[in-house]
């Protein structure tokens, strides 16, 4: 990177807000998807939204790509740098700016940790509903990029359902206010398109969130089944009965083993464990829990255990939320996948995954949000064995293909990022992707904001859709496809 | 041959002569008389029609049930009405997955009747559901009091098929509730007033139909107390599915609250509510008919066509201020007023009486007040003479430049609903 650029960055963020030393840059060469690594040219840690804007404006003027980053916990390579880019870390913008309890709104900066929002409003009986497993470290800014979900989004919805307004720095350095404190601000639903755009439409610098009142009662049931099929049937019956739990999670034997080794949640050892959480008015929850227990028994559950205290409930959830990291206890390496299937396809897809796993000779642990069909198969492997990483990747991609074939999606909450770019073409046709690119071009005509993510091949913005023909800028050697 | 006959001939070639016909005065939109109505029978025909219009520079007004054709600013042009009348099928009800898809021209009522066969619903209470179509309610983002519990259309839609002006058929989202692959075009299209593309079909997440429901109405002595009660309910562990405030000239202030679930749980919740009310000096009464209070929003459209109906969006805690402001203005201007606001802060206000001049003054003052509070006022229905002299959307949104760029990319020739949306989009 040119000295002039480095000097300018130092002017903006100060000497302590700039990283250019290779040793220090290494921290930023990947996110939670560690098998992809690219060194950025520089990392800046702005201390104010104004500094963010100045950095982006400079990137725009100099046509330097930039990648926004929160805590770097993303699992699809969304915060992976690109060659020659500047990483903009939002970690220092971590203030909760405003809490408005009567209207159930909280205004935060993007670097605020997800769980910190709930911590702030919990004394008043409120919580921030989206709860990705990484919620104790991940940031609201990152959640917005990925439209993060979590176990409780079955009932409460995703990040996008809880973001009312955003102040963003557009890729050209302009500021824009999308949405607001009140609902239905006139105009296009730009918060709706910005949330989940994986950092490709700009950088959020202020976010208005909706918070939710804590329910009167919460009950968490563990139900042990002899097979994932039986557990899956129970899930279907619960939903068919018109019951909408706050969460329904499923784990198979391997996942339970790993979680037990890590957290000692005292799960019953079985082939299909369901964790069903109901919340709401006490009278309603009491009644529905009886129904849920009966359904589970009818479907073959041989142990039903209701968490008896808040402490027990916390341990039950800790085991579930630690399940990914816990894989380290039973395998040297693993790949987390994030496919979605229609819930009714669950038994069939699980059997297919088992067959693929056997054929590849690799173990697959299954942890998933069963209520909404969001699978997190964990492909276990050992990278020191030659070729095994490749086999694991192929297997995890084959599982995604299964999901798409079943009418589902390649990602439910982790995002496409770099990891699943090529799978976008499996799920969407060319005209679908071209139409999404229209949005991209309206926001970021030079493709500077987190380029080479999400889409399988970036079209330059003046390019006509249809069969690929080189853009005049390309032929002239002025621009190249990322 | 006149131009209209030529157009009709060309369109007939695309959709068949029976489905390209001349318009009547009933098809006028805000004083503008379209020449032709075309009714494509499938997505390919619709695509062909749009591509043709785009190439010919013909302005297109998409239309579903036509119940809200008067919403938005008067269009700058619109030779062609593109009706989704023939695209009216429920495509799929995956009840085990609690999702369903319908074509744009399917009415909300027809959709819900099908879903009810398996005890499920599109949890939305839009205006005129027996005529309003899926495509229409999506385009104007209409929702009622159920929004408190289930969210609005942006929270319910999970997939969409649209046709762009150049004929491109694009799908986004999918058929699963949880899905973050690619940009969320279903949300971008929701509330876009048909200015970006024509919606062909949509997929939604569903909710179970409640086993039982009960509506409780509370007569409140004044707006401040009604608002306080509304906030206390929101701040309590009660979980109403809907809550609205009704008020108007010469009528009592009422707060309606609806609970659903098992009868036992409803009983407990209504008792809790009764105690809350008692502590505040008012009485909660169970409505004789559970559904009647929820027709209040629709009733604001009935009667005198000289009235103005507008949508106002504020915060839940600003409802009493809104009532006070409307009362103050209407007293000074001698206007009749009525309003229904939902607990989430979105309301509908009707002003009537005097003459257009005075109505305009009332609207402008109420809008300035709302905008100063950080809210908005959008005119939905007004006499043409009023609409011609006011921007129905109010002050331009801060993000207008981005919105314009989005429009330019989707509809570079500006053939879809020109001028109807914010900032002249």
Q: Do B180 and A411 touch (CB under 8 A)?
A: yes
Write the ipTM: 0.97
The CATH 3.30.70.2190 portion of chain A extends over 216-325
B251: pLDDT strictly greater than 50: yes
pLDDT per residue over B347-401, tens digit each?
A: 999 999 878 999 999 999 999 999 999 999 999 999 888 988 999 999 999 999 9
Can you give the pLDDT at residue B305? 77
Touching A: B residues 112-141, CB under 8 Å: 119, 141
pLDDT per residue over A449-474, tens digit each?
A: 999 999 997 666 766 554 444 454 55
Can you give the pLDDT at residue A290? 96
Can you give the pLDDT at residue A464? 54
For residue B356, what are its two tokens?
């257009």
State whether residue A84 sits within 8 Å of chain B by CB. Answer: no
Please tell me which residue of chain A has the smallest CA distance to B229. Answer: A102
d(CA B370, CA B318): 10
B28: pLDDT strictly greater than 70: yes
Host H or E run for residue A143: helix A140-146
Can you give the pLDDT at residue B287? 82
Q: Please compute the mean of the pLDDT values over residues B323-340 and round it to a whole number.
A: 96
Can you give the pLDDT at residue A458? 63
Touching A: B residues 14-33, CB under 8 Å: none
Q: Pick from A222, A248, A226, A251: which is nearest to A237 by CA?
A: A248
The CATH 3.30.465.10 portion of chain A extends over 96-213
pTM score:
0.95
Cβ-based neighbours of B54, under 8 Å, separated by 6 or more: B165, B166, B167, B413, B415
Most distant CA pair in chain B, distance:
76
Q: Do A213 and B191 touch (CB under 8 A)?
A: no
State whether residue B399 sits within 8 Å of chain A by CB. Answer: yes
Q: Please compute the mean of the pLDDT values over residues B242-262 and round it to a whole number.
A: 94
Q: In chain B, which residues have their Cβ closer than 8 Å to the Cβ of A170? A: 402
CA distance A458 to chain B (A): 13
B412: pLDDT strictly greater than 90: yes
CB B174 within 8 A of CB B152: no
Sheet arrangement for strand B99-103: B90-94, B99-103, B198-205, B157-163, B169-173
Domain A3-89 coded CATH 3.40.50.1820:
no
Q: Pick from A53, A270, A81: which is nearest to A171 by CA?
A: A53
Touching B: A residues 229-288, CB under 8 Å: 236, 239-240, 242-244, 280-284, 287-288
d(CA A260, CA A268): 10
B419: pLDDT strictly greater than 90: yes
Can you give the pLDDT at residue A463? 60
d(CA A98, CA B71): 35
In the structure, how many helices (H) and strands (E) does chain A have?
17, 19
**Cross-chain CB nearest to A176 (options B170, B267, B398):** B398
Please tell me which residue of chain B has the smallest CA distance to A286. Answer: B265
**Helix residue ranges per DSSP H, B100-184:** 108-116, 134-140, 147-150, 153-156
Count how many pairs of residues, chain A against chain B, have C-beta atoms within 8 Å: 262
B324: pLDDT strictly greater than 60: yes
State whether residue A415 sits within 8 Å of chain B by CB. Answer: yes
Q: In chain B, which residues have their Cβ closer than 8 Å to the Cβ of A427? A: 174, 181-182
Q: In chain B, which residues have their Cβ closer than 8 Å to the Cβ of A240? A: 95-96
CA distance A244 to chain B (A): 8
**CATH class for domain A96-213?**
alpha beta
Can you give the pLDDT at residue A480? 43
The CATH 3.30.70.2740 portion of chain A extends over 331-421
Domain A216-325 coded CATH 3.40.50.1970:
no
Q: In chain B, which residues have their Cβ closer than 8 Å to the Cβ of A413? A: 178, 180
Q: In chain B, which residues have their Cβ closer than 8 Å to the Cβ of A216? A: 237
Can you give the pLDDT at residue A472? 46
pLDDT per residue over A324-377, tens digit each?
A: 888 888 899 999 899 999 988 988 999 999 999 999 999 999 988 998 899 999
CA distance A433 to chain B (A): 8
Q: Average pLDDT per run of 10 along chain A, which is 482 residues long? A: 94 96 94 92 97 98 97 94 97 98 98 98 97 94 95 92 98 97 97 98 98 96 94 90 92 92 90 95 94 97 93 90 84 92 90 95 92 92 94 94 95 93 94 96 96 83 54 48 36
Averaged confidence pLDDT in chain A: 92
Can you give the pLDDT at residue A462? 64
Q: Please compute the mean of the pLDDT values over residues B132-142 and round it to a whole number.
A: 98
* Domains contained in chain B, CATH given: 3-83 (3.30.43.10), 90-208 (3.30.465.10), 212-290 (3.30.70.260), 301-388 (3.30.70.1130)
Touching A: B residues 231-260, CB under 8 Å: 231, 234-239
Q: Return the CATH architecture of domain A331-421.
A: 2-Layer Sandwich (3.30)
State whether residue B342 sits within 8 Å of chain A by CB. Answer: no
Q: Please compute the mean of the pLDDT values over residues B329-355 and round it to a whole number.
A: 95
Strand A163-169 and strand A175-179: pairing?
Answer: antiparallel
């Amino acid at each position: 990177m040119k000295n002039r650029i480095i000097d300018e960055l130092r002017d903006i963020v100060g000497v302590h807000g700039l990283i250019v030393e290779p040793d220090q840059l290494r921290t930023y060469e990947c996110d939670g998807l560690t098998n992809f690594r690219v060194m950025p040219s520089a990392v800046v840690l702005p201390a104010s939204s104004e500094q963010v804007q100045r950095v982006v404006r400079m990137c725009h003027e100099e046509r330097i790509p930039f990648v926004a980053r929160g805590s770097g916990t993303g699992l699809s390579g969304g915060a992976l740098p690109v060659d020659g880019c500047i990483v903009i870390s939002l970690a220092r913008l971590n203030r909760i700016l405003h809490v408005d309890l009567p209207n159930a709104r909280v205004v935060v900066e993007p670097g605020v940790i997800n769980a910190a929002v709930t911590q702030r409003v919990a004394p008043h009986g409120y919580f921030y509903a989206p709860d990705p497993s990484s919620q104790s470290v991940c940031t609201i800014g990152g959640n917005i990029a990925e439209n993060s979900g979590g176990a409780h989004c079955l009932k409460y919805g995703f990040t996008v359902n809880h973001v009312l307004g955003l102040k963003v720095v557009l890729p050209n350095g302009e500021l824009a206010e999308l949405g607001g404190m009140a609902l239905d601000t006139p105009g296009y639903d730009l918060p709706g398109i910005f949330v989940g755009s994986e950092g490709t439409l700009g950088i959020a610098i202020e976010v208005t969130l909706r918070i939710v009142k804590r329910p009167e009662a919460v009950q968490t049931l563990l139900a042990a089944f002899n097979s994932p099929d039986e557990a899956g049937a129970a899930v279907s019956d619960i939903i068919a009965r018109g019951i909408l739990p706050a969460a329904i999670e499923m784990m198979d034997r391997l996942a339970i083993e790993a979680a037990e080794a890590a957290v000692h949640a005292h799960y019953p050892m079985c082939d299909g464990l369901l964790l069903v959480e109901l919340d709401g008015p006490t009278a309603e929850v009491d009644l529905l829990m009886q129904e849920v227990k009966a359904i589970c028994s009818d479907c073959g559950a041989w142990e039903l255990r209701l968490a008896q205290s808040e402490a027990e409930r916390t341990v039950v959830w800790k085991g579930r939320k630690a399940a990914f990291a816990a894989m380290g206890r039973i395998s040297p390496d693993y790949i987390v996948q994030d496919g979605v299937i229609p819930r009714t396809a669950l038994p069939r897809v699980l059997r297919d995954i088992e067959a693929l796993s056997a054929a590849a000779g690799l173990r697959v642990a299954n942890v998933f949000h069963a209520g909404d069909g969001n699978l997190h198969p964990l492909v276990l492997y050992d990278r020191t064995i030659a070729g095994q990483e490749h086999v694991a990747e192929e297997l995890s991609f084959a599982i995604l293909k299964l999901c798409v074939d079943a009418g589902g999606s390649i990602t439910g909450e982790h995002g496409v990022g770099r990891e699943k770019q090529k799978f976008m073409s499996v799920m969407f046709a060319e005209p679908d992707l071209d139409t999404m690119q229209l949005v991209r071009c309206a926001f970021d005509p030079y493709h500077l904001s987190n380029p080479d993510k999400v889409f399988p091949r970036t079209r330059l913005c003046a390019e006509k859709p249809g069969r690929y023909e080189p853009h005049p800028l390309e032929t002239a050697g002025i621009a190249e496809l990322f | 041959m006149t131009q209209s006959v030529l157009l009709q001939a060309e369109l007939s070639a695309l959709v068949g002569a029976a489905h390209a016909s001349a318009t009547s005065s009933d098809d006028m939109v805000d004083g503008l008389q379209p020449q032709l109505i075309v009714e494509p029978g499938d997505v390919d025909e619709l695509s062909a029609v749009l591509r043709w219009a785009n190439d010919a520079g013909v302005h297109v007004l998409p239309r579903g049930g036509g119940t809200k054709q008067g919403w938005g600013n008067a269009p700058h042009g619109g030779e062609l009405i593109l009706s989704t009348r023939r695209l009216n099928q429920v495509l799929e009800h995956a009840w085990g997955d609690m999702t369903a898809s319908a074509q744009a021209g399917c009415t909300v009522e027809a959709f819900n009747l099908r879903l009810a066969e398996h005890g499920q619903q599109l949890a939305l209470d839009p205006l005129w559901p027996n005529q309003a179509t899926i495509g229409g309610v999506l385009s104007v983002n209409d929702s009622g009091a159920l929004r408190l519990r289930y969210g609005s259309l942006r929270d319910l839609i999970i997939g969409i098929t649209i046709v762009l002006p150049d004929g491109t058929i694009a799908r986004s989202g999918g058929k699963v509730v949880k899905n973050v692959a690619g940009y969320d075009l279903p949300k971008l299209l929701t509330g876009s007033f048909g200015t970006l593309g024509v919606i062909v079909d949509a997929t939604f997440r569903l909710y179970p139909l409640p086993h039982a429901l009960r509506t409780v109405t509370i007569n409140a002595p004044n707006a401040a107390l009604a608002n306080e009660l509304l906030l206390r309910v929101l701040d309590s562990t009660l979980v109403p599915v809907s809550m609205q405030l009704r008020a108007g000239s010469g009528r009592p202030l009422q707060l309606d609250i609806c609970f659903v679930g098992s009868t036992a749980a409803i009983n407990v919740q209504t008792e809790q509510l009764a105690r809350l009310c008692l502590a505040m000096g008012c009485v909660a009464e169970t409505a004789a008919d559970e559904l009647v209070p929820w027709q209040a929003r629709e009733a604001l459209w009935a009667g005198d066509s000289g009235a103005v109906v507008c949508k106002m969006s504020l915060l839940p805690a600003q409802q009493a201020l809104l009532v006070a402001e409307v009362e103050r203005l209407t007293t000074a201007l001698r206007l009749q007023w009525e309003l229904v606001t939902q607990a989430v802060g979105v309301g509908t206000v009707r002003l009537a009486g005097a003459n257009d001049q005075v109505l305009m003054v009332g609207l402008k003052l109420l809008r300035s007040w709302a905008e100063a509070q950080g809210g908005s006022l959008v005119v939905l229905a007004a006499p043409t003479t009023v609409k011609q002299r006011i921007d129905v959307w109010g002050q331009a949104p801060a993000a207008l430049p981005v919105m314009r760029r989005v429009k330019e990319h989707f509809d570079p020739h500006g053939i879809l609903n020109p001028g109807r949306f914010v900032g002249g989009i």
